[in-house]
Every structure is written in structure tokens, then in C-alpha cells.
């Protein structure tokens, strides 16, 4: 017994949907009664219905990721408020991997002399930023004032996290284990400088951490795991994923890469990598 | 099945503007109104774009293009449909434009594809269903996504796609039949066309409304 044709499957589907006119429907009735291939196809299609309902309605929900929401907001604000950043299509925001690696290596090498971050040890998390060419990016990281921004949830989380001021940068650098290791070996300062010729969307996927409270919770989770004190944080990437690169003083690790879920309940430090 | 909540429910906070009020505020010059409108519906718009295109970056680009287009063309919204219907229409069209632009790729004939063994709904099945959805003709895929996955009423999907309700029903039914075949619940039909599987949504009977 051969299966029915594709055209006939369409006709059978229309029949089950009730969109055939009476004459066409009567013809399908006749085929189902007289042709074993039609009868089987109809029986199979009818039997598959509940399974299809369950499979389709059971697909996971797809909430918009935070980085997409943040970029969309910026694009809308760019048009709504003339004078802000130029809109850049998402696909053109990808940094070539080679450029990222090179930029990261250069950045690590010059971090000590670049003067990108002044570390202080008093007060809470300052949110101070790199001074060389990342103003717009850092404004976004530190601002969080738009309608998509999330409200702080734990106002005192920051001070407990590091016990001192944490310098933040938002270089968008894409780190690897090797560049983390070089950062750990090289300095107790921020691991990367904004020396790249162009700075990608550093806050992509990390918008939640741009609030002091969320950042404080993340740093607290890191220091709870690794010990020591956080002294700098870079909104960047690790092997392509949004990551907060944190330099520690006196901890089991010197530099850690924490994922976007860092500090969330159940996520802990969401460590992607660490070097000691 | 997820039932979308299209408008602000009455009886809640009286200060919450509905979608049309937000759009009107945007047209009147409120620089935050459109962002609020998008924030309100972004998850549903994103789900439609992502499921239709099957690629995160493309979906993000399509959604951004669509929202900028909507923002710039908002003064042309006539109010004869819900704002969400209008937004979804723009997103769907942006997605279909992208699909059609990339359709230099050869299509996969249904009869040449080995069906996936039938299973109960689990994580593997989710992957299978997503893969099978990606192989449907785009018009059937969009209709299925909107009706069977996102839970929009057929009448609203007909308004979004600007087709008859019967056409939406036909596209969904044909898409479901193909999904059943791809997922191993039906025998592969015998190919009987020079261009298989990609032209099924165009038959005259589906335009019956």
C-alpha cells in the first residue's frame, strides 16, 4: 500500500480543518471509505492530533534575553531621542575572534601603564569607569535608568561583597583561559584596558549586573566561593559569552570569569573559569 | 496552550495606559512611550521572531528592524486593529522578508527525509519539534507558531497575516500534517510535484474562508 501523495495530504489536512467545500469534503469522505491508503493516513493524522497539541503547546517559553532587550531599547531610544548612539544591526556587532584575542592580549599588556582604573579601598562599590574611550559604554553599564532597566533589589549588597570600592570597566573584551591567566599573573589592577579600536556592546547579557546591588550580590557570591576581596570588575565576555571578569585580592583565585547569572538565587557565582 | 493577554485588564491600576494610549503618546512626542509599549510585549514578539527564524541573531535583527519601522510609521496606525496585532504583523513581515532573502538555499523534500521516531514529549522531542518546524513552508510555520504555540485566536492571526480565517486554518492543518510526517506519526507521502513541499500553502482550497 502506497502512502497518499503530498497534494492529497494537503487535501486531507484541509478536510480535518473543515475548510473544504461540501463537494470536496464528500469526495474525501469517499476516498477514506474506499481507499486503504487514505483510510490509514486519516487514522494516523487523527491519532497524531493530541500528541501534536501537547508537543506544540509544550515548547518552552522564549522570553527575550536581557542583552537583546537592552540593545532593542537603545535602538528605540536612538530613534526616539535624536542625538544618541547610531543604530548598529546585531549581526554587525560581532567582533572577529582574532581581533578580540589580539585586543585582549594588548589590553592585558598595557593595563599597568594605561591608567584605566584607579583602585580605592574605601566606601562601597563606586562604579568608576575606564577613562579611555569607553564613556558611552560605561554610561550604559552604570546608568540603567531606561524603562528596560531593572530596579535595585538589595541596596546593601555591594559593601558586603568586596568590603571596599570596586573599579568597573566595560571593555567588552572576549577573554580566554590564557588571557585570564595573563591577567592574573600581571597585575592586581583591572584585567583589561579599553585599548581596542572599537568597543563592542560590553553590557550585552550583563544589563542586570549594571545596578550596584546586583553587582554587589555577584561579587559577594564570588568572594564567598573564592575568598579575598574583589578589587575590579570588567563587563566583558568569556569565550564569546557575556561575562564579568573580576580581579580578586587575597582569594583562592586571582581572576575569575562569572556568567550573566552571577549572584542570582541558585546560581551562586556562576563561574565560567578562574585562574589562581 | 498559552492565551495571550492583549490589552490591559480593566479593574487594575487605573493609571496604566492601554496600548493605543501609549502609541498616541508616542506620536504626540512622548520619547518614552514607544519603549514602554515594546517592553510590554517584547517577550511575545521575540518568541514569534525566534521561532519563525530559528536563529537568535537573525531574530534580534528582524525584531529591531521591525520595531524601528513601527516606531517610524506609528503615525500611520489607523486603530482598526489592536496595537499588538499591528506590531505582530510588522514582526512577521520582517521575518518573512529575511526568510525569502535567504531562500537561495535548496529546500528539503519531505519524502527524502527520514522521519524522527515518535516519542513522548520530552527534551529530545522539543528539539525534534523545533527542527521539524524549521522545515515547514514559512507560511505554514508562521501560522502554526501563532496559533498552536503562542495561542493566538485564529481570527487575530488572520488579521495579523491579512488572510481569511480559513486560510489560517488550512495553513495550520497542513503544517500539522507535515509535522506529523516529519516526526514519524505519518508515513511519508509520495512526492508528486517537481517542487516538493514548499508550495503546499498556495492551493486554492486553502483560500476558502
- This model's pTM is above 0.80: no
Q: Cβ(A183)–Cβ(A247) under 8 Å?
A: yes
pLDDT in tens, A127-137: 333 333 333 33
**Residues present in chain B in total:** 209
The verdict on B38 touching A (C-beta cutoff 8 Å) is yes
Put simply, whether A274 touches B (Cβ < 8 Å) is no
A23 touches chain B (CB under 8 A): no
Distance CA A267, CA A246 (A): 17
As given in the structure block, the three cell numbers for residue A73 are 531599547
A233 strand-pairing partners: A168, A246
Q: Which residue has the cell 503546499?
A: B200
Interface of B with A in 101-160 (CB under 8 A): 110-111, 118, 121, 125-126, 129-130, 144, 148-149, 151
Tell me the β-bridge partners of A241: A238
* C-beta of residue A176 within 8 angstroms of C-beta of residue A192: no
Say which DSSP state A212 is in. H
Instruction: Please state, in angstroms and rounded to a whole number, the distance separating the CA atoms of residues A223 and A233.
Output: 13
- Residue range A15-61, pLDDT digits in tens: 999 999 999 999 999 999 999 999 999 999 999 999 899 889 888 88
Residue written as cell 598595557?
A110
Asked if A146 and B35 come within 8 Å (Cβ–Cβ), the reply is: yes
Among the partner residues B38, B57, B170, nearest to A19 by beta-carbon distance: B170
How far apart (Å, rounded) are the C-alpha atoms in residues A258 and A235?
Answer: 10
Q: Which residue of B has its CA nearest to A91?
A: B57
ipTM of the complex: 0.74
Q: Which residues of B touch A83 (CB under 8 A)?
A: none
Q: One digit per residue, pLDDT tens: chain B, 209 residues? A: 433 333 344 444 556 789 999 999 999 888 889 999 999 999 999 999 999 999 999 999 999 999 999 998 898 888 889 999 999 999 999 999 999 887 755 444 443 344 444 444 456 778 888 999 999 999 999 999 999 999 999 999 999 999 999 999 999 999 999 999 998 876 666 655 433 333 333 333 443 33
**Which residue, chain included where needed, has cell 583565585?**
A253
Side-chain half-sphere of B21: how many Cα atoms within 13 Å? 7
A51 contacts B185 by C-beta, under 8 angstroms: yes
Dump pLDDT digits (tens) for A192-202: 433 333 334 44
Residue matched to cell numbers 513601527: B70
Amino acid at each position: 500500500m502506497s502512502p497518499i501523495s503530498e497534494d492529497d495530504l494537503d487535501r486531507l489536512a484541509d478536510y480535518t480543518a473543515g475548510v473544504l467545500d461540501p463537494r470536496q469534503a464528500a469526495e474525501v469522505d469517499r476516498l477514506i471509505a474506499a481507499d486503504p491508503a487514505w483510510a490509514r493516513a486519516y487514522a494516523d493524522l487523527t491519532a497524531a492530533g493530541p500528541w501534536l497539541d501537547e508537543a506544540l503547546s509544550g515548547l518552552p517559553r522564549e522570553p527575550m534575553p536581557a542583552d537583546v532587550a537592552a540593545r532593542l531599547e537603545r535602538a528605540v531610544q536612538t530613534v526616539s531621542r535624536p542625538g544618541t548612539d547610531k543604530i548598529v544591526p546585531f549581526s554587525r556587532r560581532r567582533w572577529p575572534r582574532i581581533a578580540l584575542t589580539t585586543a585582549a592580549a594588548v589590553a592585558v599588556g598595557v593595563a599597568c601603564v594605561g591608567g584605566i582604573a584607579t583602585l580605592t579601598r574605601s566606601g562601597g562599590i563606586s562604579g568608576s569607569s575606564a577613562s579611555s574611550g569607553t564613556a558611552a559604554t560605561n554610561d550604559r553599564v552604570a546608568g540603567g535608568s531606561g524603562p528596560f532597566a531593572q530596579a535595585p533589589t538589595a541596596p546593601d549588597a555591594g559593601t558586603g561583597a568586596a568590603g571596599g570600592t570596586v573599579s568597573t570597566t566595560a571593555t567588552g573584551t572576549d577573554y580566554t583561559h590564557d588571557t585570564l591567566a595573563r591577567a592574573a599573573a600581571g597585575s592586581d589592577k583591572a584585567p583589561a584596558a579599553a585599548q581596542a579600536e572599537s568597543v563592542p556592546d560590553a553590557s550585552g547579557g550583563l544589563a542586570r549586573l549594571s545596578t550596584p546591588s546586583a553587582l554587589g550580590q555577584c561579587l559577594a557570591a564570588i568572594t564567598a566561593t573564592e575568598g579575598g576581596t574583589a578589587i575590579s570588575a570588567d563587563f566583558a565576555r568569556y569565550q564569546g559569552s557575556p561575562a564579568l571578569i573580576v580581579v580578586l585580592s587575597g582569594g583562592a583565585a586571582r581572576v575569575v570569569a562569572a556568567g550573566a547569572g552571577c549572584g542570582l538565587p541558585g546560581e551562586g557565582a556562576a563561574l565560567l573559569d578562574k585562574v589562581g | 496552550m498559552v492565551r495571550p493577554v492583549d490589552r490591559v485588564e480593566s479593574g487594575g491600576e487605573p493609571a496604566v495606559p492601554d496600548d493605543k494610549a501609549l502609541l498616541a503618546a508616542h506620536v504626540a512626542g512622548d520619547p518614552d512611550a514607544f519603549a514602554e509599549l515594546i517592553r510590554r510585549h517584547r517577550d511575545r514578539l521575540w518568541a514569534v521572531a525566534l521561532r519563525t527564524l530559528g536563529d537568535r541573531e537573525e531574530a534580534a535583527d528582524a525584531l529591531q528592524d521591525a520595531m524601528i519601522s513601527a516606531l517610524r510609521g506609528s503615525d500611520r496606525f489607523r486603530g482598526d486593529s489592536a496595537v499588538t496585532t499591528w506590531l505582530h504583523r510588522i514582526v512577521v513581515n520582517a521575518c518573512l522578508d529575511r526568510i525569502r532573502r535567504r531562500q537561495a538555499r535548496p529546500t528539503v523534500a519531505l519524502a527524502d527525509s527520514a522521519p524522527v521516531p515518535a516519542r513522548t514529549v520530552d527534551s529530545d522531542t522539543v528539539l525534534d519539534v523545533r527542527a521539524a518546524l524549521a522545515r515547514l513552508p514559512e507560511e505554514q510555520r508562521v501560522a502554526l507558531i501563532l496559533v498552536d504555540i503562542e495561542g493566538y485566536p485564529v481570527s487575530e492571526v488572520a488579521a495579523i497575516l491579512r488572510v481569511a480565517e480559513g486560510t489560517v486554518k488550512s495553513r495550520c492543518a497542513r503544517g500539522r500534517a507535515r509535522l506529523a510526517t516529519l516526526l514519524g506519526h505519518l508515513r511519508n507521502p509520495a512526492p508528486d510535484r517537481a517542487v516538493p513541499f514548499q508550495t503546499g500553502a498556495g492551493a486554492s482550497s486553502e483560500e476558502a474562508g
